[in-house]
Structure 1
C-alpha cells in the first residue's frame, strides 16, 4: 500500500514526484465538446436564417424579389459565419470594418423592399458588432441597432407594441449569437489547454523516469563496475576475498533491480542512513578512507529520499571524477534542518563540468532539493578538496501538505 505522500504527487514535474501519464487528447477541433458547441452555434444561425426565409416567402413580393432576398440572406449568413469564427475579433481592424459595413448595408437596404419581414437580420448585425468591436464601441452600436428596429413597424402603421417586440427580438438575437460564439471559443480554448496540460504531464513523467533512473542506477552501476575490477585483481591472489566481493556485487545487482521496479511503479523511497552504510562499504572496498558522522532524527519520506539520492550522486561522482584517498560524510540534524556534507580529496583538475551544478546528475539533485524547500551547493573547497552541501528542513512543506491533506 502506498504512503500518503505518494498519493499526493505534484503536477509540477520539477518536484520530482510521479504523475499519472495522461494520453494527450486529439486536437480541439476533433473533440466532442468543441464540435457540439460549434454545431449549436451553426444551428442557431440557420434557425434565424430559416425564420427570415419564411418571412420572405410570405411577404407577397414577386418571384424576382424573393430570389434576390434569398441571395442576400445567403450573403449575410456567410458573413455571420466568418464573424462567428473563434478568434475572429483578432482580424485586422480594416477588414472588420469592411465586413461590418457590408453586413450593415445588407441588413438595412432590403428593409425598403421587405419591411418588417427582413428585420430578423438586424440581430445578426447586432451580434457581429459585439463580436468584432471593442466593448466601448460595440455596446452603444448594439443599442443603436436595436432602437433602429422601432422604425419599420411604425412606418407600416403597426402598433407601438410591435415596434418594441421587434427591437427586443433583434437585441436578443444578437445577444444569443454573441454568447454562443464566445462559448464556442471558450470551450475550444479549454480543450486546447487540457491537451497541452496532458502533453506536459507526459513530458514531466518521462523526465521523472529518466531522472530517477539516473539517480538510482548511476551509483549501483558504478559500484558494480568498480567491484568487478577489484574482483578481477583479487582472483589470482585472494580468491576467498574475491568470492566475498562477488556476493556484494550480486547484492548490489539485486538492489538495482529492485530500484528499477520502484521507479517503474512510482514508489522510490530511500533511506539516508542505509545509503551512508552502503557508501562506506563501497568506498572501503576501493581503498578510500571514510569518516562518517551521523546524527539524525525522524525525517519525512520526501526529505529522506532527496538526501539519500544526493549522497548516491556525490559518491558516484567521487568514484568517476576523482582520485580520492579519503572522504568525509556528515549528516546532522539541528534546529529542524538536516545538513548533508560530502567532502573528498583527489579532485581531478582536468575534469570540467558543463553545467552550473556539475552535470545532469547534480542538476537533477538541485531540482529535487528545491522541490523539498532545500538548497544544494557544490564545488572546490579549501585545501584542494571538493565539497557538496545539501541542506533541507527535516519536515518539508510538500510532505507536510500531503500529510495534512
Structure 2
C-alpha cells in the first residue's frame, strides 16, 4: 500500500505539470519534447524511490542524478514556471540518494533556484515564493513517501525474522530440555536395568525393588517430556538430590551429601536441579567413580551446588554421534539466572563441578535459557 501511494503521488505531480504545459498553449514539437522529458523524469523518480536506491553504486547514482538535473533544468528555458513542479522531483531524489548533509544542502539550493523562472517570465515576487515553496514541499513529500515505503518493507522483513527467531528459540529450548531432563533418566534406567539383570537370579526381592524404581523413573521421564512440550519445566533440587543418591547407590558409588537449602526461587531451583542431573549423568557415563560428594548450601543469599567424584577416565571422549554438550548447556542456563559454572580437575582421576547463583535470582530479560551460543545446542 505504501508503494502504491508513492507511485500515485508521483503520477499526480507529473499530471499537474502536464496540465500546466497544455494550459500554456504548447503544440507540436514542443509538446512532444515535453512529453519525452516528463517520461524520463517519471522513470528516474520511480528508480530513485526504490528501496535500497541509496546503496546503489556511486557511479550509477551520479549518472542518473546528472540526467535528472538536465531534464529538470533544460526545459525551464522553454516552459519556465510551468515546468517548476519537476524540480521537486530532483529535490526529493537528492535527499533519497545522497548522504544527509550534502543532500539537504542541495535540496535547499534546488528550492532557491526556483526563484529564477518567475523572474525571467516577469512574474511577481509572490509567484516566485509560491514556486519555491511548491518545489520544496514536493521534494519533502516524495522523500517522505519513499522512506515510508522502505520502512514498511523493513518492518515486514523484521517481523518475518522475529517469527523465525521465535521458532528457532523454541526448537532450541525443546532440544536443550530433552537433553538435560532425559539424559539423566535414561542413564538411570539403563544402569538399573543392568543391575536388575544381575539380581534376578541371586536376589529376586531386591530385583523387584529395583524394577519399582525403574517404573518410578520412567513415569517421571514421561512427566518431564510432557512438561517440556508444554513449556513448564520446574524441578526441585531437594528431590533431585534424593533421586541422585538412589541412582548412584545402585551404581555402587558411595554418596555423601550436605544439604542446607533455605528459600530458593523457582528458576534457580530448576537450574540447579538440572545441573545436578547433568553432573550425575556424567558421573555414570564418563567415569568409573567409587565416590561422589554432593553439597548444596545457601549462604548470604548465594546458592552453591558442588558435585565432586573420582574415577575420571583420563583423556575420555564420548565418540557417539549424539554425545551432547551438557556442560555448555548448563553454563548458559546459569548465566540466564545471574549465576556461573566452574569445573575443577584435582588429582589425576578427580573432578569437581561448582554452580553458583543468587538464591532469589530470576530469569534475565529476554532469556528462556539463553541463546547466545546456539552452536552448543546444535550438537544435542
TM-score, length basis structure 2: 0.91
- Is the 8 Å Cα contact of residues 296 and 305 (structure 2) preserved in structure 1? yes
Structure 2 match to 1:303: 268
- Is the 8 Å Cα contact of residues 297 and 304 (structure 2) preserved in structure 1? yes
Q: Write the distance in 2 (CA, Å) between the matches of 1:183 and 1:401.
A: 29
TM-score, length basis structure 1: 0.86
Deviation, 1:401, is 12
Deviation, 1:100, is 1.3
Which SS does the other structure have where 2:258 is aligned?
A: strand
CA 83–146 in structure 1, closer or farther in 2 if over 3 Å, else same: same
The reply on whether 1:213 has 2:187 as its aligned counterpart is no
Listed one character per residue, the Cα deviations across residues 314-337 of structure 1 (whole Å, up to 9, x for unaligned) are 100100011111111111111111
Structure 2 match to 1:124: 89
**Mapping of 1:337-376 within 5 angstroms?**
337-352=302-317, 360-376=325-341
Gapped runs of 5+ residues in structure 1?
A: 1-35
- Is the 8 Å Cα contact of residues 88 and 138 (structure 2) preserved in structure 1? yes
Q: Write the distance in 2 (CA, Å) between the matches of 1:400 and 1:117.
A: 60
Q: Write the distance in 2 (CA, Å) between the matches of 1:48 and 1:116.
A: 14
**Mapping of 1:325-336 within 5 angstroms?**
325-336=290-301
Tell which has more relative contact order, 1 or 2 (C-alpha 8 A, sep 6+). Answer: 1
Q: Write the distance in 1 (CA, Å) between the matches of 2:200 and 2:235.
A: 33
Deviation, 1:372, is 0.9
Structure 1 match to 2:343: 378
**Mapping of 1:127-146 within 5 angstroms?**
127-146=92-111
Gapped runs of 5+ residues in structure 2?
A: 368-380
Please identify, of 364-373 and 128-137, the stretch whose mean Cα deviation from structure 2 is larger.
128-137
Q: Write the distance in 1 (CA, Å) between the matches of 2:189 and 2:318.
A: 24
Q: Write the distance in 2 (CA, Å) between the matches of 1:70 and 1:181.
A: 24
Deviation, 1:383, is 6.4
Deviation, 1:79, is 0.6
Of residues 166, 187, 190, the one that matches 1:201 is 166
Q: Write the distance in 1 (CA, Å) between the matches of 2:117 and 2:212.
A: 99
Alignment root-mean-square deviation, CA: 2.0
Moved over 3 A (4+): 397-402
Q: Count matched residues.
A: 364
Please identify, of 62-71 and 311-320, the stretch whose mean Cα deviation from structure 2 is larger.
62-71
